[in-house]
Amino acid sequence: MQVPLLRLQCGVNSYDWGKVGQESAAARYAATTASSDFSIEAEKPYAELWMGTHPSLPSKDVETQRTLLDLVQDNQALMSTEITERYGGRLPFLFKVLSIRKALSIQAHPNKKLAEQLHARDPRNYPDDNHKPEMTIAVTPFEGLCGFRPLAEITHFLQALEPLRKLIGSEVAGEFEQAVKGNEDSEDEVVMQRNKDALRSVFTVLMESSPEDIETACKELVALAETSPASFASLPGDVETNPSNPTELAEIIKRLDGQFPNDVGCFVFFFLNFIKLEPGEAMFLKADDIHAYVSGDIIECMASSDNVVRAGFTPKFKDVPTLTKMLTYSYAPIEEQKLRPTDYPYAILNATAYSSASSAMLYDPPIEEFSVVKSDLNRTGAKVTFDPIAGPSIIICTRGKGKITVGNKTEEVQEGYVFFVGAEAECIIVNTGSGEGEDDVFTTYKAFCELTGKEDMVNGH
């Protein structure tokens, strides 16, 4: 039987929002295992490294050049019979590295039922019939938009930003304010649904604004950001009521308008949480949750799908009616959008006196398709042993040097190397760096699927 350890060659997608040339971690990682005909072009944007079996950009075994999809379908033991049967012989997750230079679209991913409907109706724009809950882990400082703001914050911006209020209309804005007034933080289910209905109404009006009205309002908004940054989006006489830093808000709006002039996204910004993640921090996005990424390098894991419903900050196909109908309209503070990692219980660290800061942290969203473990081995010789699990894994190194051992097979590891580890295989990872202080950190991310213990979780909801 084949040893269940494969080094993978992974492809990189070039989208306009990607970081350019060598600045792109996605490009650098792709170059470490790419075929000889791949070289990084200095002026070309590189956005996403894809790791998995998705047919749009399948990974290949470096040695044989066979696709990972072919290999796991030929040998069900690599995935486990249960996972192979449940997910049609494909990996249930798609693992990515994103390098974000400028904002990528305001979007949501459909739930399973809607994905099937969209794919049947419009397979060109919706190439999959699967849902796409996803998780983001920051590798460098990250900025993004995630979920709707608390209602009191939305009300503040409707009152403090005249271009926004004019674009929506004072009557519509007033109806929203009256509908939620005094009940912004209520936990009563009936009241919360009424709040969501009010949010749906005002947000739909915004999204259906004419291009001419959006352009006029954007010019007024940017003018305010340029002329009055210290009081931008603040109510008269009281900057302290601003939910965010006025100067920072003004800078972000000018930056976004520079990337996408006269785009409705500059106003959607005031409805969504602006979230900043430090390296190692994460957020989880359920199906039908609105979001957009603004800048940074991230590890992303999602159900194996390429379905995106877009409505702003993009030259691609936009589907505003579908987006406004599909959203959950859940609203919550930023902290509730984050996903907290915990110690991973099925890994053994050999914590010597010089590597006691080593860690294996689990990011475990409430879905069955994937989880991710981030391992930091902080000194030469530090080691982590992962117990066998009843499912497949993909591992990428984002920092340092080391070795990976599965069975009787050992491979060298360096930044950008990607490996597939089959089901029921013990996996040992060792830091073999130089031993020269703080730069000797060896970091890997391990995406995996194991159904045990997740059967009762609700997929994407």
Q: Are residues 82 and 167 in the same domain?
A: no
pTM value? Answer: 0.91
Q: Quick one: what percent of the chain has pLDDT higher than 70?
A: 92
Q: What SS3 class is residue 456?
A: coil
Q: Are residues 394 and 410 in the same domain?
A: yes
Kindly state the average pLDDT of the residues 260-267. 96
27 within some domain? no
Please report the pLDDT score of residue 135 as a whole number. 94
Please report the pLDDT score of residue 154 as a whole number. 96
Average pLDDT, the chain: 90
pLDDT in tens, 5-42: 999 999 999 999 999 999 999 999 999 987 667 899 99
Give the model's confidence band at 171: pLDDT under 50 very low, under 70 low, under 90 confident, else very high.
very high
Give the model's confidence band at 289: pLDDT under 50 very low, under 70 low, under 90 confident, else very high.
confident
Residue 29: closest CA among 51, 44, 55: 51
CATH number for position 208:
1.10.441.10
Query: For residues 300 and 412, what is the distance between their CA atoms, to the nearest angstrom?
Result: 24
30 within some domain? no
Kindly state the average pLDDT of the residues 411-436. 91
Q: Which residue has the tokens 């998995």?
A: 52
Domain residues for the domain of 277 are 145-337
Please report the pLDDT score of residue 460 as a whole number. 36
CB atoms within 10 A of CB 258: 10
Q: What SS3 class is residue 34?
A: coil
Give the model's confidence band at 437: pLDDT under 50 very low, under 70 low, under 90 confident, else very high.
low
130 within some domain? no
Lowest mean pLDDT among 197-206, 227-236, 239-248, 408-417: 239-248
Position 393: which residue type?
S
116 within some domain? no
Kindly state the average pLDDT of the residues 165-194. 96
CB atoms within 10 A of CB 194: 15
192 within some domain? yes
Give the model's confidence band at 456: pLDDT under 50 very low, under 70 low, under 90 confident, else very high.
very low
96 within some domain? no
275 within some domain? yes
Please report the pLDDT score of residue 114 as a whole number. 86
Q: Which of 285, 304, 337 is the last residue of a domain?
A: 337
- Active-site residue, from 28, 101, 149, 310: 310
Both tokens assigned to 414: 């360096």
Active site residue 310: yes
Q: Are residues 274 and 210 in the same domain?
A: yes
Please report the pLDDT score of residue 454 as a whole number. 47
Q: Residue 320 burial (CB < 10 Å; 0-12/13-18/19+)?
A: middle
Position 141: which residue type?
P
Q: Are residues 161 and 248 in the same domain?
A: yes
Q: Are residues 271 and 154 in the same domain?
A: yes
Q: Which of 305, 337, 369 is the last residue of a domain?
A: 337
Please report the pLDDT score of residue 277 as a whole number. 96
Please report the pLDDT score of residue 455 as a whole number. 45
Q: What SS3 class is residue 45?
A: strand
Q: Which of 316, 337, 358 is the last residue of a domain?
A: 337
Q: Is the pLDDT of residue 353 over 50?
A: no
Q: What is the rounded end-to-end Cα distance, in angstroms, of the chain? A: 39
Q: What is the side-by-side strand order in the sheet with 342-343?
A: 60-61, 5-9, 418-421, 393-399, 442-448, 371-377, 359-363, 342-343
* Cβ atoms of residues 384 and 369 within 8 Å: no
Q: What SS3 class is residue 394?
A: strand
CATH number for position 427:
2.60.120.10
pLDDT in tens, 69-118: 999 999 989 999 999 998 888 899 999 999 999 998 998 888 778 888 88
Q: Are residues 357 and 317 in the same domain?
A: no
Q: Are residues 390 and 324 in the same domain?
A: no
* Cβ atoms of residues 328 and 289 within 8 Å: yes
Q: Is the pLDDT of residue 146 over 80?
A: yes
DSSP 8-state assignment for residue 130: S
Q: Are residues 332 and 347 in the same domain?
A: no
331 within some domain? yes
* Cβ atoms of residues 19 and 90 within 8 Å: no
Q: Are residues 85 and 153 in the same domain?
A: no
Kindly state the average pLDDT of the residues 206-211. 96
Both tokens assigned to 110: 């459909």
Total of domains in the chain: 2
What are the strands, taking DSSP E only, across 321-365? 338-339, 342-343, 347-349, 359-363
Q: Are residues 153 and 293 in the same domain?
A: yes
Lowest mean pLDDT among 174-188, 211-225, 293-307, 372-386: 293-307
Kindly state the average pLDDT of the residues 261-278. 96
* Cβ atoms of residues 70 and 2 within 8 Å: no
Q: Are residues 153 and 221 in the same domain?
A: yes
Q: Are residues 282 and 235 in the same domain?
A: yes
